[in-house]
Amino acid sequence: MSDTDRDMPLPPEEPPPSLARRIYRATVFTFLAIMGLELIAAVFRGQWLTAFLVAMIIAITLAPQLFKRKLAVDIPAEFQLLAIVFVFAALFLGEIRDFYHRIWWWDIALHTTSGLLLGILGFLLVYVLNENERVEVHMRPRFVALFAFVFAVAIGALWEIFEFGMDQIFGTNMQKPMFGDPSGLTDTMFDLIVDTLGALVISLYGWWYLKRRKESFIQVWIRKFIERNPQLFRSS
């Protein structure tokens, strides 16, 4: 080894993964193993629609890792973990394993949770726009909360359109009969109501946080997002 090689600085060592990221990786591995077995079983039984849906859920589960480098955005492991658990519970357990029929409150709980998660995502999105020097958007706390609320409700409404389309085109049963209503209208309205309630709760909480600047899990996630994605924010 030459003197020049000895003088060259060594590349910095990557810090060990956090507890949240280790839990996220273990959870993804477990979910992929379960869904992989379900996919193989569906193919052997000739259940092609089930196999297609399971393959799509696997692709959604792997998407954050596959597109991480292309998007150049590092999302906190805590949010990724919640999102993956939600996708697994809603699509795999709910649709494939029929938890929506086995457990009467499963659909209500998931739609309430989706309102909370989408509200947090809305806060994170508008926070990035507020702090990005390339985008001239500066919103007060009440408008940030309103944006998060509208964002969550809008995504919930788009999901109901997706359920309706799947039922009409592929003959699935994503719009569940409820209270004797076979049309699925009652299920759709209940889903939208609990989506709205979940979005309202997280929006009010976020507004209170922005006004008082109290420590919260949203603040922790935003701080991590800023630290890992400095290219999205002002140099100041």
90 and 102 co-located in one domain? no
Q: Say what the pLDDT of residue 89 is.
A: 92
What's the mean pLDDT in 147-170?
90
**pLDDT at residue 59 greater than cutoff 80:** yes
36 and 80 co-located in one domain? yes
- 3 or 193, which is more confident: 193
Nearest alpha carbon to residue 202 among 140, 144, 99, 120? 120
Q: Does residue 1 sit within a domain?
A: no
Q: Which domain holds residue 112?
A: 98-236
The confidence band for 65, taking pLDDT boundaries of 50, 70 and 90, is confident
Cα separation, 117 vs 159, in Å, equals 14
Nearest alpha carbon to residue 82 among 54, 53, 124? 124
Q: Does residue 34 sit within a domain?
A: yes
56 and 132 co-located in one domain? no
Q: Say what the pLDDT of residue 11 is.
A: 46
Cα separation, 177 vs 111, in Å, equals 16
Backbone φ and ψ of 178, nearest 5°: -145, 135
Q: Say what the pLDDT of residue 17 is.
A: 67
Of 94, 115, 148, at which residue does a domain stop? Answer: 94
Averaged pLDDT of the chain: 79
Domains held by the chain: number? 2
pLDDT digits 0-9 by tens, 18-36? 777 889 889 999 999 999 9
pLDDT digits 0-9 by tens, 86-133? 989 988 998 888 898 889 889 889 988 998 888 888 887 776 666 655
Side chain identity, residue 101: H
76 and 118 co-located in one domain? no
Q: Does residue 51 sit within a domain?
A: yes
CA-only gyration radius of the chain, Å? 21
Element (H, E) at 37: helix 19-45
165 and 227 co-located in one domain? yes
Please tell me what DSSP assigns to residue 93.
Answer: I
Percentage of the residues of the chain whose pLDDT score is greater than 70: 77
**pLDDT at residue 69 greater than cutoff 70:** no
**pLDDT at residue 153 greater than cutoff 50:** yes
Q: Does residue 81 sit within a domain?
A: yes
180 and 143 co-located in one domain? yes
Q: Does residue 13 sit within a domain?
A: no
Q: Say what the pLDDT of residue 12 is.
A: 45
122 and 236 co-located in one domain? yes
163 and 48 co-located in one domain? no
43 and 108 co-located in one domain? no
124 and 230 co-located in one domain? yes
90 and 192 co-located in one domain? no
Q: Say what the pLDDT of residue 35 is.
A: 93
pLDDT digits 0-9 by tens, 217-235? 666 776 777 777 776 665 4
142 and 231 co-located in one domain? yes
- 186 or 213, which is more confident: 186
